[in-house]
């Protein structure tokens, strides 16, 4: 299949099939939806499945469940419900931090941080058929993540954020632009991304923007989701390698 291009569907992900640079083989680059909503349990006052359903009905196709203070049983129960709902609605669902819960819940993947299990350790738990994403906060961490089997790499915080108690230093869109030249792997930008600045993040080279507060804290989260999707659909992305 040398010199060919095409598309391969894997669950709710789409993979572009392209010749591998320098080898003449084939590699798969996963194409993420441009909007990635993180359902932070600390910011949600209604049943998490209720808000998730509203956002998916508004068009959301990529979401993650984050529950830092929940007990393992509480987190697993919620993750199971979210996984089932997401799959019913054709969305892709990740669990934050916990590959064991992602596996047990039937999620599509897990997202790990710098202090969690490594990408390869997480993949051993969730299995090869599920996806693993990883957070990075500077170029050094990003380059280390490139050497792993991570399906996507998150970088941030792009802007000042209040969604974390002790956030890492702001990296800005210039770092996104710099990192874009290093890889064809999907880059997810995260941290303080509001609707009015979402376009510039895509233009800098991010494949997807992760949003928490500007959607969960909106008077109408579903309406805000639609606004994000409409805005991101018209953003002109930076060229990949």
**209 token code pair:** 């923007």
Identify the active-site residue in 68, 164, 181, 194.
164
Whether 66 is a known active-site residue: answer yes
What is the Cα–Cα distance from 86 to 92, expressed in whole angstroms?
6
Whether 226 is a known active-site residue: answer no
Per-position b or e across 190-207, b if 16+ CB within 10 A of its CB: bbbbebeebeebbebbbb
Q: How far is CA 88 from CA 50, 57, 84, 181, in A?
A: 14, 11, 6, 36
Contact between residue 98 and residue 69 where contact means Cβ atoms under 8 Å apart: no
What is the Cα–Cα distance from 45 to 78, expressed in whole angstroms?
14
**107 token code pair:** 């999620």
**31 token code pair:** 């194409």
DSSP single-letter state for residue 43: G
DSSP single-letter state for residue 128: T
Identify the active-site residue in 135, 163, 185, 208.
135
Whether 10 is a known active-site residue: answer no
Q: How far from chain centre, in Å, is Cα 189?
A: 8
Catalytic residues: 66, 135, 164
């Amino acid at each position: 299949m040398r010199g060919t291009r095409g598309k391969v569907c894997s669950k709710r992900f789409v993979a572009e099939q392209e010749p591998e640079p320098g080898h003449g083989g084939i590699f798969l680059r996963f194409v993420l939806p441009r909007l990635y909503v993180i359902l932070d349990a600390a910011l949600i006052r209604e049943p998490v499945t209720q808000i998730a359903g509203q956002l998916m009905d508004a068009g959301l196709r990529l979401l993650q469940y984050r529950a830092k203070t929940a007990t393992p049983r509480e987190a697993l129960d919620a993750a199971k419900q979210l996984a089932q709902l997401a799959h019913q609605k054709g969305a892709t669902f990740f669990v934050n931090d916990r590959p064991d819960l992602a596996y047990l819940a039937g999620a599509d993947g897990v997202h790990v941080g710098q202090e969690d299990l490594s990408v390869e350790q997480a993949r051993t738990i969730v299995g090869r058929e599920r996806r693993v994403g990883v957070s990075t906060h500077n170029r050094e961490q990003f380059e280390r993540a490139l050497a792993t089997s991570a399906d996507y790499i998150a970088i941030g915080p792009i802007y000042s954020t209040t969604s974390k108690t002790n956030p890492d230093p702001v990296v800005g869109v210039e770092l996104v632009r710099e990192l874009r030249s290093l890889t064809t792997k999907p880059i997810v930008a995260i941290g303080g991304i509001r609707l009015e600045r979402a376009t510039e993040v895509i233009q800098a080279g991010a494949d997807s923007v992760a949003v928490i507060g500007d959607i969960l804290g909106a008077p109408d989260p579903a309406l805000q989701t639609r606004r994000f999707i409409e805005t991101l659909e018209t953003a002109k992305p930076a060229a990949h390698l």
